[in-house]
């Protein structure tokens, strides 16, 4: 008979500080496992890589961006089984743990709203100057990409040095995702833990968009293509 362990939110904080992260093997699995891949996906944020077409879309402000107003709904949408996804690594235990981390101020959600409807977003964990991206979802075209663009602007503005994507995937390559060794990741994580990043939630989205535009004008954003 297999054993099921009960983890506290503090266990997750310790895990992140060591460079490992939790996942379930299936959405209906009762167990949570911890992973430290040999090759780690990270997204550069100094400077951020934003596709030109996406930056133009963000400047049009097609949706309202909010933070931490619907964390439970965001993680639930990320875990949802859809027509294009028949399983999820987010089980009920993962949801409970991250909702607790959110209440403790470690986990944050970036939300894309169309009127009173949540149409996209992402969530992750902040530790020092590192942000660990966990999952994202879209219910309309480009919503998760817009959420990630706004997050990357805040991370750059707020002095973060590391945006962890865990694994490489095609969706994130347009944002400059690279794979690095486990040892390189540990070095970057150690550096990120030494300081304190600020999501600058007192700053509105217009200021964040203007920050990105200034980077483009100064030639400090790389050519991320269309």
> Chain centroid to CA 51: how far?
18
Asked if residue 2 is part of any domain, the answer here is no
- What are the tokens at 54? 């996406």
**φ/ψ (deg, to 5) at 151:** -60, -45
Per-residue confidence band for 224, with pLDDT thresholds at 50, 70 and 90: low
Per-residue confidence band for 216, with pLDDT thresholds at 50, 70 and 90: confident
Asked if residue 1 is part of any domain, the answer here is no
Please state the three-class secondary structure of the chain as a single string.
Answer: CCCCCCCCHHHHHHHHHHCCEEECCCCCCCCCEEECCCEEEECCECCECCCHHHHHHHHCCCCEEEECCCHHHHHHHHHCCECCECCCCCCHHHHHHHHHHHHHCCEEEEEEEECCEEEEEEEEEEECCEEEEEEEEECCCCHHHHHHHHHHHHHHHCCCCEEEEECCCHHHHCCCCEEEEHHHHHHHHHHHHCCCCCCCCCCCHHHHHHHHHHHHHCCCCCCCCC
Residue 195 has pLDDT above 50, yes or no: yes
Per-residue confidence band for 87, with pLDDT thresholds at 50, 70 and 90: confident
Asked if residue 98 is part of any domain, the answer here is yes
Strand partners, 109: 123
Structural domains in the chain (count)? 1
Asked if residue 42 is part of any domain, the answer here is yes
Mean pLDDT of 9-28: 93
Boundaries of domain holding 177: 9-217
pLDDT in tens, 115-172: 999 999 999 999 999 999 999 999 999 999 999 999 999 999 999 999 999 998 888 9
Q: What pTM value is reported for the model?
A: 0.92
Mean pLDDT of 69-86: 90
Rg (CA), the chain: 17
Residue 215 has pLDDT above 90, yes or no: no
Asked if residue 29 is part of any domain, the answer here is yes
Asked if residue 222 is part of any domain, the answer here is no
Non-local CB neighbours of 1 within 8 Å, separated by 6+ positions? none
Give the per-residue pLDDT at 164: 98
Distances (CA, A) of 106 to 194, 196, 199: 16, 13, 11
Asked if residue 71 is part of any domain, the answer here is yes
Per-residue confidence band for 221, with pLDDT thresholds at 50, 70 and 90: low
Q: What is the CATH number of the domain that holds 135?
A: 3.40.630.70
- What are the tokens at 118? 């949540």
Asked if residue 194 is part of any domain, the answer here is yes
CA angle 139-143-147, nearest 5°? 135
Residue 3 has pLDDT above 80, yes or no: no
Burial class (CB in 10 A: 0-12, 13-18, 19+), 81: exposed
């Amino acid at each position: 008979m297999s054993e099921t362990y009960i983890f506290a939110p503090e266990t997750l904080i310790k895990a992140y500080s060591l460079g490992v992260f939790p996942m379930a093997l299936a959405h209906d699995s009762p167990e949570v496992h911890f992973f430290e891949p040999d090759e780690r996906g990270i997204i550069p944020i100094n400077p951020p890589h934003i596709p030109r077409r996406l930056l133009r879309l963000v400047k049009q402000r097609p949706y309202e961006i909010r933070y931490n107003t619907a964390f439970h709904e965001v993680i639930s949408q990320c875990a949802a089984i859809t027509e294009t996804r028949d399983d999820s690594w987010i089980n009920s235990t993962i949801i409970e743990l991250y909702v607790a981390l959110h209440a403790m101020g470690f986990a944050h959600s970036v939300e894309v709203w169309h009127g009173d409807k949540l149409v996209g977003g992402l969530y992750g964990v902040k530790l020092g100057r590192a942000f660990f991206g966990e999952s994202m979802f879209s219910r309309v075209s480009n919503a998760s990409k817009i959420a990630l663009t706004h997050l990357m602007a805040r991370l750059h503005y707020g002095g973060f040095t590391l945006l962890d994507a865990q694994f490489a995937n095609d969706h994130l390559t347009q944002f400059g995702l690279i794979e690095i060794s486990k040892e390189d990741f540990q070095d970057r994580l150690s550096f990120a833990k030494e300081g304190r990043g600020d999501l600058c939630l007192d700053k509105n989205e217009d200021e964040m968009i203007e920050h990105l535009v200034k980077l483009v004008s100064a030639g400090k954003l790389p050519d991320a293509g269309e």
